[in-house]
Amino acid sequence: MAARKKAAKADAAVAGKKGRATTNEAAQKLRAKNATELSDELLKLRKEQFALRLQRATGQAVKPDQFGKVRKNIARLKTIAREAQIKSAGVSK
Q: Count H helices, E strands: the chain?
A: 4, 0
Query: What are the structural domains, with CATH classification, of the chain?
Result: 22-89 (1.10.287.310)
pLDDT, tens digit, 9 for 90 and up, residues 45-89 = 999 999 999 999 999 988 999 999 999 999 999 999 999 899 888
CA-atom Rg of the chain in angstroms: 19
Q: For residue 71, give every residue at least 6 positions away whose Cβ sits within 8 Å of its Cβ, in sequence order, or none.
A: 49
CA distance 62 to 49: 12
pLDDT of residue 92: 56
DSSP structure string for 38-78: HHHHHHHHHHHHHHHHHHHHTT----THHHHHHHHHHHHHH
* DSSP structural state of residue 19: T
pTM summary value: 0.70
